[in-house]
Structure 1
């Protein structure tokens, strides 16, 4: 709900303006001087402040300065009966968003209020779009049965407000699953905010999550919103939750149960409506048993558990994953990158301890080192190919030499984009000799 602070010492004017603002279902707090206005600012956050420029105790310009100290995001409209161009410019220079001269038409004031509120909404939407575009079009990939089970849980759980705990090994796509949940939820047009609990020092984590007031600690020169406030009405992902410091686990539990918290250095209770998702590669039950994680917090987070499968459990998806990853890398050739059958065989024989993230890195490496648009085994790490692609050949010298010759022929053909005359020249053999070798090895 839009919350407005109205500071006006003239009672009739204050009541008239307040009544008109309330017709739009805006919450309006009224004060008759600047000092009371400062007290209200210390208790509440406001989208908009409408203030007279001359009031007893503290005038509108001093109140304006206090507002800018507390929150740079609050819009301010200054009202005055003593207007001039210089007064208007002075107010705008000191941070006012707009300036209106008394007496004014109420419809004019409402238009100005709506314009400023719309501008705030656009800024919020831009921030949401920037956050949601951070990883582009990356999404969950795979049609294996274990992945179909994941999709089914997401389809059922996403439209609810239930807290979801996503576990799995590093590189299995836990954050992508969280984004898929948000995208399929009723909050998809609202903010998706992510915070990595392992990447932020313990001393800063509370401020990152819950924000802080001006002067709360050294360097806190202004009020700052935390991730929970930024995610209000949207979704908050707590990535690597298993690394959250113990003292903050109790505060997180209260937010999950009550939907309210206080900023660092503040006393005001802030209420939010946030759907919380959590990811971790740790065994949280083991962390509970060893006293590093709260049992009650685990119960509260694990309303709906999702375990992302390691890549070794759905190797049938490797080809689709490779095709998806290779689209990310720009090919210098006439055709985009693709994966050869031999390279797919090598990859399918590998255990992938780093899961899909490791496969992504392998495809990026191959796209850089490949001599053509097709990825062959020789474009993959030597140790991977040596261990997996030739393991069934044994020690027969002729067979091993044939494998090496086939690989060389394919690499040269790939480099020359299939032009056999250029390929023969590159290999230092005649075109007839090349044709015979291709025929003998059934290489196209």
Structure 2
């Protein structure tokens, strides 16, 4: 969508001159002969900038400025006048005008001012996007076959604007996949806005997505832009889309079909150009059967289905992921963390029901609580390293880890049988007393 500018000027020669000059710069420019007509144009469409004379019949420039700040807060307003003074300029700037120009003015200077304001506007939107995504940009790590398939699919769909539905278990990295799709696409330098549909109450979600007009509901003291408007020209991620209420699903379907939104309390459609990505851990086919998700919306979202594999389906990636997270936490603490062979084997054998998020959380905990940077088997949580009463023949544990669990269990039983007598326990185990002491130290076992 091209930059849209509205020129409100009652003097015909000035209006035509300014409009023709701005159009020559490649911008889409509309014209209005007075403030009232200009306000109607703004209420019907979306403009990046309004260039208005101050003295006009009907609605003058200063009143138009106040109206624009209420109904289109993202639109910048530049006021022009042949009767200006310092006090008038200061008042206009205090009321929210982006600039103030005295007539007659140089058209090249006008172009410079307009371009500067548009650049500042783009930076503001970019800052919102970066703040929204802060901490979310992490690489997709993995050389396993499922990950290679996923990465190949991402590279294919980044060159399109088609809607994608990203599905996978909780903790698999669906948000990272969505970010990768955006930042490798042709919209990479445009806004990337995320909305967690599960974190916002249903009655507030509509306003969050589509914005609201002043007075639309109690507490709506000013017009507020929604996430879709903030994401214009870029990408929006609707995370946990399965949690969206049915009444909003209908409105989202219309947005996808018509490429326009309506603010809460508004009566004019606002055109948008946004790529929509959705993510969910739910089985939407099952939700359709339950009547909690619309079938027509499901098929509209699933133009490109993307499935993120669970960590247990790509165990080959656990070592690389572990190294990455340990390096990340090590930089924060000024240390170099490593895993012992036994600890790495135990991690590789654990099923990780919480997927990559669980692995990351476990490693962060270890970097805080482990007594030394070289992490040993006994530093791991008991559910990973195994414990008494746990079977070592589950098929879910690595051989080295299984041997370590069995050794630890035998030593504990021998010490218990001999009431902590190491010499007697070593004889039962068939090893030397020194060997027993070394293994007790390795596994953190005390005689008592």
The SS at the match of 1:165 is: strand
Q: How does 1:63-74 map to 2 (within 5 A)?
A: 63-74=64-75
Find the partner of 1:395 among 383, 392, 410: 410
Tell me how far apart the structure 2 counterparts of residues 103 and 333 of structure 1 sit (CA, whole Å). 61
2:441 paired with 1:408 = yes
Q: Give the drift of 1:197.
A: 0.9
- On the 8 A contact 1:167/1:307 being kept in 2, the answer is yes
Tell me how far apart the structure 2 counterparts of residues 57 and 157 of structure 1 sit (CA, whole Å). 51
Tell me how far apart the structure 1 counterparts of residues 64 and 181 of structure 2 sit (CA, whole Å). 44
* CA gap 1:351/1:85 in 2 versus in 1, 3 angstroms: same
* CA gap 1:332/1:67 in 2 versus in 1, 3 angstroms: closer
What residue in structure 2 maps to residue 6 of structure 1? 7
* CA gap 1:404/1:96 in 2 versus in 1, 3 angstroms: farther
The SS at the match of 1:45 is: coil
Q: Which residues of structure 1 form unaligned runs of 5+?
A: 412-426, 428-444
- On the 8 A contact 2:261/2:271 being kept in 1, the answer is yes
* CA gap 1:348/1:68 in 2 versus in 1, 3 angstroms: same
* CA gap 1:85/1:404 in 2 versus in 1, 3 angstroms: farther
Q: How does 1:213-228 map to 2 (within 5 A)?
A: 213-228=213-228
What residue in structure 1 maps to residue 306 of structure 2? 306
- On the 8 A contact 2:370/2:379 being kept in 1, the answer is yes
2:357 paired with 1:346 = no
Q: Which residues of structure 2 form unaligned runs of 5+?
A: 388-396, 415-425
Q: Give the drift of 1:127.
A: 2.9
Tell me how far apart the structure 2 counterparts of residues 227 and 140 of structure 1 sit (CA, whole Å). 26
Judge which range, 96-105 or 362-371, deviates more. 96-105
2:90 paired with 1:89 = yes
Tell me how far apart the structure 1 counterparts of residues 85 and 328 of structure 2 sit (CA, whole Å). 58
Q: Give the drift of 1:276.
A: 1.4
What residue in structure 2 maps to residue 53 of structure 1? 54
- On the 8 A contact 1:246/1:292 being kept in 2, the answer is yes
Q: Give the drift of 1:407.
A: 6.4
Tell me how far apart the structure 2 counterparts of residues 289 and 220 of structure 1 sit (CA, whole Å). 37
2:150 paired with 1:150 = yes
What residue in structure 1 maps to residue 176 of structure 2? 176
The SS at the match of 2:6 is: strand
CA RMSD of aligned residues (A): 2.5
What residue in structure 1 maps to residue 208 of structure 2? 208
The SS at the match of 1:314 is: helix
* CA gap 1:383/1:403 in 2 versus in 1, 3 angstroms: farther
Tell me how far apart the structure 2 counterparts of residues 293 and 410 of structure 1 sit (CA, whole Å). 51
* CA gap 1:93/1:327 in 2 versus in 1, 3 angstroms: same
* CA gap 1:343/1:112 in 2 versus in 1, 3 angstroms: same
TM-score between both structures, scaled by the size of structure 1: 0.86
Tell me how far apart the structure 2 counterparts of residues 59 and 258 of structure 1 sit (CA, whole Å). 35
The SS at the match of 1:213 is: coil
Cα deviations by residue, 1:241-281 (Å, 9 ceiling, x for unpaired) = 11111111111112222212211111211222222111111
- On the 8 A contact 1:6/1:30 being kept in 2, the answer is yes
TM-score between both structures, scaled by the size of structure 2: 0.85
What residue in structure 2 maps to residue 414 of structure 1? none
Tell me how far apart the structure 2 counterparts of residues 223 and 331 of structure 1 sit (CA, whole Å). 44
* CA gap 1:331/1:192 in 2 versus in 1, 3 angstroms: closer
- On the 8 A contact 1:333/1:372 being kept in 2, the answer is no
Tell me how far apart the structure 2 counterparts of residues 135 and 21 of structure 1 sit (CA, whole Å). 39
What residue in structure 2 maps to residue 328 of structure 1? 328
What residue in structure 2 maps to residue 193 of structure 1? 193
The SS at the match of 2:79 is: strand
Tell me how far apart the structure 2 counterparts of residues 374 and 33 of structure 1 sit (CA, whole Å). 74
Q: Give the drift of 1:323.
A: 0.7
Tell me how far apart the structure 2 counterparts of residues 124 and 69 of structure 1 sit (CA, whole Å). 19
Tell me how far apart the structure 1 counterparts of residues 81 and 151 of structure 2 sit (CA, whole Å). 59
Cα deviations by residue, 1:299-347 (Å, 9 ceiling, x for unpaired) = 1111222222211122221111111111221369875111111111221
* CA gap 1:316/1:211 in 2 versus in 1, 3 angstroms: same
What residue in structure 1 maps to residue 36 of structure 2? 35
- On the 8 A contact 2:191/2:235 being kept in 1, the answer is yes
